[in-house]
Each structure stands twice: as structure tokens, then as C-alpha cells.
Amino acid sequence: MKKTYKLTRRQLLRLSALAGTGAVIAACAPAAPSGPSAPEAPAEQQPQQPQPTPAPTVKPVPRDQTIIMGWTVSDFDNTGLTNPFAAGHNHQNFNSALWDPLYYWAAFSDTVYPWLAASEPEYNADFTEVTIKLRDGIEWSDGTPITSKDVVFTVNTWRDNEKLDYHSRVAPYVKEAVAIDDKTVKIIFKQPSPRFVFDVLTVHFDTGRPIVPAHVLEKVDDVTAFRGGLDMPQSGPYKVVSWTSNQKIFDLREDWWAIKTGFQPVPEVKRVIMQRIGDDVGVVAQRIVNNEMDTAVDFRTDTIKSILRQNPKVTTHTGNKEPYGYLDWWPNSLWMNHELEWFSDVRVRRAINRAIDRDKIDEVVYDGAKVSTIFPFPLYPALQKFADSPAVKAVIEKYQPRKFDLEESARLMEEAGYKKNADGLWEKDGKTVPCQISGFPQIHGDIVPVLSEMLRQAGFDTGEGPDFGPEAYNNMAEGRPGLYMFGHGASLRDPFAVFELFNTKPTGNVAGSNNFSRYNNPEFEQLVLEMAKYPSGDPRFDELAVKALEIYYRDVIDVPIIQWLHRIAYNQTYWVNWPTETNVGEGYNGAFWHWTGPRVIAALKKAG
């Protein structure tokens, strides 16, 4: 039997504004990270596979040269998995620090920083080719120069190997990558591809990918089965010196190419310790209050406020004021599988949307902060400009996606053939509409119970309350009956990526790229393929993007709920110069688990 836990008294008091009376139940289970991805099963090892071996005794490093970060994901158990091409590789456990990309993108300055690349990419006039020049002095940790051969190997392997996560993002576009000389790469496309370098070869948040060492992986029979190990030649600033099921230790590489060439100053953080934390958020918070930990996975509002009250040395992106965080790239929606009988009817999907009171969400969950949304993309400056355009405003006026109207919701359900049963739930052919919401307790424990109560009041069968159990992600990925609270890891500068996400097809019975709606519309698919040919800001692109957004609202592909905020605690006892709204620096967001995390750590300065 599934174990359940009552919400806290404060949560119940908040929910009383919605429910009047009655207990709301939420299950408790291991937490998931912001924007988690479905893990792949480890492949069988090959003969040449390096075996993880115990690290030598780790030399002591002073606390004021060490940063300690709390992380939740269980891939600590994947000891020695460092190869970015390997099945199950995860950059979020700070493996990002092992691998340098061609380019970094900083969200809050909207700046692309050439890294292994020497300069901006040079596209031809019709965006069917791009040329990239590499920086002088770049090298792998074994001293082998990084050359155009590595870039060519990386891109062409993505194109050819269907097992790789970026195959579907490269194969439709890339005809061939070729080396012009050791420092120059040309990528030839099958069609105009103006955003390829930004989407694929530039790292930002959890997307984009680094370059891999050709001289290592070209000798491997199956690059997805090769774990890499602690000694695999790498390009990044830190190396793993110890990795157990509870902790990873990284030490600064003093021979990092960026230090040797003078491209970057020597980071003051000499050691990074990633510690595995449990499900008890209170324990994690107390460790930050006690100065035992410098930062950790983002917290919910009540927890971050408590931390700030107890330790004046701790700050957040917005200091000690609401909303205690910054806008992340992962706006959350209620998803539903369109292939299931209930949700194949757009009237049911629209009725669910009309049952959501977003103003009440802002009031009850976020203390009045404007967090709720009607968009499937984050409102960064360029996307805010798109959202504010007259054409988009006309679409919003037509479909009114923010409208809360229980009478209209009921009318839609009746049109779809449903009647309320004795329990006040919509029913047809003896079946209620299964709307139990799957989510993750550490990041959805505040919002999902409120959504569940709203839907229950509107007549939807939310079961025993939110499903925060260990099968929550599998419910989403496998399209099981119910609703799914999850984000869109997609658009950053324009809405293309999220529309492309909705075109992703399942692999077997598993949703591809977390496209849990399994939306299938040839009209929409062709529109997005046409959109791919134009750069951001092109009038034709904007025209097509507005049409795609109209289809999104017309068909209710999913139900947008909230913009996602990262409320990350930054302890300044040992380290200062954290990225905040008053200390933007180079403009990187503060999540150490993103691909840009190494740039956040590199910018830190010793306190005092």
C-alpha cells in the first residue's frame, strides 16, 4: 500500500482558502532535480572498458579553499561514468566541470562567450553552412591538442549514432562536418539551420553539449558503453579525485589549458565537494544554516525564508526579499497523454485549463508574487518581447488561456458527454477522468496540492491527492493515466525550441525529450520545420511562431501553470561573489548543476 503523509499545518491553512474543509494528502518519495531526464540503462561493458578504481588518498585542502554543495540525484552510484557519450552520463553532478564547450551562453546578460572556439560562428548567407575557428593553445588533460578533428568527430558521431541523446537534434540538419585545417571546422547542413550552433554547440542550462576527445573515443567500439573512468582525458577546469556513492570530490587542474594560456585567471576554489543529500529538506537547510554546506538544490519559499532568518550570512538571487530566486528556463505545465481516451478530447483538456485559478496560485502559494503563467517558455527579455507583441496579444485575447471559469469548464465537460456522479466527479461510461497529479516532493510540494484541490472542486478525479511516489517520473514517461507536473526544458531566446519539443516522437512507449503530451499534428510539425529555416527576429519566423502559439492554445497541448524559480541559498561564510540580481557579473544563472555551473564556481571569491 502506498504510504502517505499529511501536509503541514501551514500548508493546510493555506489550502483552506481553497478547500474550506478536509484533509489533503501528499505522498513522500525521493526528490527529483529541476528538469530531470529519464535515465538510460547502463550498457554492457566492453573489453577496453576502464574499471573504476579506488582513488588514492585525497590530500587535505583547507576549508576556505573548498566549496561544499548538496545534490540529490542518485547517480552518485554511477561511479566513474565521465564519458559524455556514455548512456546514463549526467552533467548535473558537476561532470560539467570535466568538459569545455565551444561556447557558453549566460542567460542574464544574453551573452555568448566563445570558449574552445576563438570567435563567433560564421554562417553563409542562406545558413546552409557554418564555419568555426578554434582558439590557440587548447588541449586535453593528457597534453594532446584539441583540434578540428575533435569537433568533426563529435558532430558526425551525433549524426550517425542513433544511441546518442543528441542524434535527433543533429541528424535531421547536418549533412557533414569537415576539418578545413587543425583550427577550422565547417559544418554543412541539409537545410538552412541558423540556430544549430546555439542550440547544439553552445551550453546553457541543461542543453547544448561539449566536444569529446576523438583520440580516445574513435578507438572505442561502442561509445555509449564506454564509461570513461577517472583518468579519461578531459578539457575542463576540475578533475575527479574521489567518487563514492555519497560524495564526489573534484580538484582544480593547475594545468588546465585556460590557465596555461592566460585566457582565464586561476579559480580561487581549489576543491569542489558534491555531497549526496537525503529527502529531508529541513536537514539540508540546517546544514546551510550551520555553515556545513555552501549551497544546495533550490528550496521552496517557506524553507528559504527560514534559512535567511536563521543565518544572516546566507543570501539568494534577490537577497532577503521575494521571490528569493531567479527565473529559470523550465516553466511548468500540467501535461496529459493525448493518446488516452479522456485526454484525446480537446474539450476535456480545455475544461481542465478553465478549472485553474492562477491568481489564487500566486496568492496562496507564492505570497502574491506573480509566478503563474500562460506560456510554455520562460519570459526572458527576447521572449517577453515576443509575448508582448500585438500579434501574440491578439491570440491571447482570442483563446484567453488565463481565464478561470468553472461554469465554462462544466459546460465543456457536458459537451464532451460527461455527467457528475454522486461524488461530484465527472463521469462517462462508468469512468471518471483520472487527474491524480504526479510530481516531485522537494520541488512541487507547495504547488501540486493546491492544483489537486482546484481540480477536485471542478469535478475531476484527483484520487487520494498528489502522487509523489517513486514511480512519478515513470508515470509521465510511459504515459500512464493522470496528469503530470513537469517543465519545458527548451526555449531561451525565441519560442522555437519548445515548439520543436512538442514534435518529439516517443521511443517505444517512452515519451521522447519529455514530450509527455505525445502531441501529433502534421500541420504543426510542418509549421515548425518551416520555422527552423529562419533566424530569430526574421519577420517570417515571427509570423510562423505566432501561428504555432495559436495552435498551442487552440489544441491545449498542455496547461501552463507557473514560471519556474530557482530559490538557491548562497552561504557567504566562506565564499562571496555569488551571482545575484545586484551582482550579475558575466550573467550566468546560479545553478551549479547546469552546464554553466563551472563558470559560477570560477567566479567565487574567498570571504573576508
Per-residue pLDDT tens digits for 295-335: 998 898 889 999 999 999 999 999 999 889 999 999 999 99
Q: What is the pLDDT of residues 553-603, one digit of tens each?
A: 999 999 999 999 999 999 999 999 999 999 999 999 999 999 999 999 999
User: Residue 440 pLDDT > 70, yes or no?
Assistant: yes
pLDDT at 75: 65
Q: What is the DSSP letter of 467?
A: B
268 has pLDDT over 70: yes
Q: What is the pLDDT of residue 57?
A: 80
Model confidence band, residue 273 (pLDDT cutoffs 50, 70, 90): very high
Is a pLDDT exceeding 50 seen at residue 58?
yes
Burial of 169 (0-12, 13-18, 19+ CB in 10 A): buried
Percentage of the chain modeled with pLDDT above 90: 77
More confident residue, 434 or 510: 434
Which pLDDT score is estimated for 32? 34
- Residue located via cell numbers 592566460: 262
Give per-residue burial for 416-447: e unless 16+ CB within 10 Å, then b: bebeeeeeebbbbeeebbbbbbbbbbbbbbbb
The reported pLDDT for the residue numbered 15 is 44
Segment 528-556 shows an average pLDDT of 95
Q: Are 274 and 247 in contact (CB under 8 A)?
A: yes
Q: Among residues 340, 302, 336, which one has the least CA distance to residue 322?
A: 302
**Among 154, 178, 160, 179, which Cα is nearest to 85's?**
154
The pLDDT value recorded for residue 196 is 95
Q: pLDDT value at position 73?
A: 62
> Which one is predicted more confidently, 608 or 26?
608
Mean pLDDT of 44-52: 43
Look-up: residue for cell 570571504? 607
- Which contiguous run of DSSP H or E holds residue 472? helix 472-477
Check pLDDT > 60 for residue 425.
yes
Compute the average pLDDT of residues 375-389: 94
Indicate whether 10 pLDDT > 50. Answer: no
Distance between CA atoms of residues 587 and 596, nearest Å: 10
Answer whether residue 28 shows pLDDT above 60: no
Q: What phi and psi values does residue 223 have, to the nearest 5 degrees?
A: -65, -20
Distance CA 268, CA 606 (A): 7
Q: What was the pLDDT predicted at 540?
A: 97
Helix/strand/coil (H/E/C) assignment for every residue in 361-414: HHHHHCCCCCCECCCCCCCCHHHHHHHCCHHHHHHHHHHCCCCCCHHHHHHHHH
- Residue 24, pLDDT > 70, answer no
Query: Considering the chain, what is the average pLDDT of its residues?
Result: 89
pLDDT at 74: 60
Please state the rounded mean pLDDT for residues 182-195. 96
Given this model, what pLDDT does residue 507 score?
A: 65
Work out the pLDDT band at 126, boundaries 50, 70, 90: very high
- Provide mean pLDDT across the span 38-64: 57
Model confidence band, residue 367 (pLDDT cutoffs 50, 70, 90):
confident
pLDDT at 53 over 50: no
Its sign, for the CA torsion 198, 202, 205, 211, is positive
Pairing relation of β-strands 332-335 and 483-487? antiparallel
72: closest CA among 240, 279, 283, 300? Answer: 279
Is the sign of the CA dihedral 221, 226, 230, 234 positive or negative? Answer: positive
The model's pTM is 0.84
